[in-house]
Amino acid sequence: MISENAPLASLDQWEDDVISRYPEPEHKSKEDYRNYDSPERDTVREFYRLNHTYQTYDFVREKEREFLKFDKKELPVWGAMEFLNTLVDDSDPDTDLDQLQHLLQTAEAIRADGHPDWFVLTGFVHDMGKVLCLFGEPQWAVVGDTFPVGCQHSDKIVYPEYFANNPDSRDERYNTKYGIYEPNCGLRNVHMSWGHDEYLYQIMKDYMPEPALYMMRYHSFYSQHREESYNHLMDEHDHEMFKWVRKFNPYDLYSKSPKPPVVSELKPYYEDLIAKYLPATLRL
């Protein structure tokens, strides 16, 4: 039975679907990453039906008010990552790695390519916002392709037919090309669908360099950084910063491997990196 709060067998199932839509451009195909005995398309479709139905402008503003008070927990960053690890998933047939190991793999791939240390740290923390699930949030309000709310939904968003169920699609304030926004107003003035991207950005916005913040905030905005469907809302600065979002995307999707990183060996490096950029504790 599919649960309305958790139609997916795991949060990773959403990323599997993204990989199937945007396979690595070189020699790898989607089959290199996940091999379920039978494709879980029904649960993915149900996930997007819920996401596209309920992610309204009013819902997003409500979640901003609820979670941007940051009154749920206070933890050191490494402790927050260990808290995230309680989301460990037994249904993934690809690997036995936990959330922390997956994030270390992403960060280590970035480090191996010689990128700046703040880029490495971004790879390490970029999914930390998924702790929203541990605060009782449904999957469709934590993961999934993100998109602007308060204006017309692009037909380049995955399963766009489900937006017919979204009340905003029938609201004259929100269902035109620009909706409540001005042409090329800049994404800083646009409300995005609620999830782990926006939540992490809001946690980190006072601490990390701007390219890192764009990576955090827009790494799931596939209808823009892959399809360029919202150029009419972006300004020149957004376009410049999205070069970083696109640079981050391959590490986000394609760095998974069954070989586990040795957490005890890597922890001192990452604790030093955390201390360089972030406060001793974060309010979640």
Q: Which letter does DSSP use for residue 283 in this model?
A: E
Contact yes or no for 126/104 (Cβ under 8 A)? no
Containing 213, the helix (H) or strand (E) segment is helix 210-218
Residue 205 CA to residue 181 CA, distance in Å, equals: 23
CA distance 48 to 232: 25
Is 3 within a domain? no
State CA 123 to chain mean position distance.
12
Confidence (pLDDT) at 25 = 67
Tell me whether residue 7 is in a domain.
Answer: no
pTM: 0.89
Q: Does residue 150 sit within a domain?
A: yes
Residue 5 lies in a domain: no
pLDDT score of 32: 47
pLDDT score at 95: 46
Q: Is residue 196 part of a domain?
A: yes
pLDDT at 93: 39
Q: What are phi and psi of 28, to 5 degrees?
A: -90, 150
Q: How many domains does the structure of the chain reveal?
A: 1
Query: CA nearest 191: which of 63, 54, 11, 48?
Result: 63
In a domain, 263, yes or no: yes
| pLDDT recorded at residue 3 | 67
Run of H or E including 282:
strand 282-283
Rg (CA), the chain: 18
Distance CA 75, CA 83 (A): 9
Kindly state whether residue 1 falls inside one of the protein's structural domains. Answer: no
Domain assignment of residue 166, yes or no: yes
Distances (CA, A) of 59 to 65, 167, 194, 266: 10, 11, 8, 39
Cα separation, 10 vs 16, whole angstroms: 10
Tokens standing for residue 17? 């679907």
The whole domain housing 116 covers 12-283
Q: Are 49 and 159 in contact (CB under 8 A)?
A: yes
Task: Identify the pLDDT of residue 92.
Answer: 40
Mean pLDDT by groups of 10 residues along the chain of 284 residues: 72 81 65 44 89 98 98 96 75 59 93 97 96 94 96 96 98 98 98 98 98 98 96 98 96 80 95 98 96
Residue type, 153: H
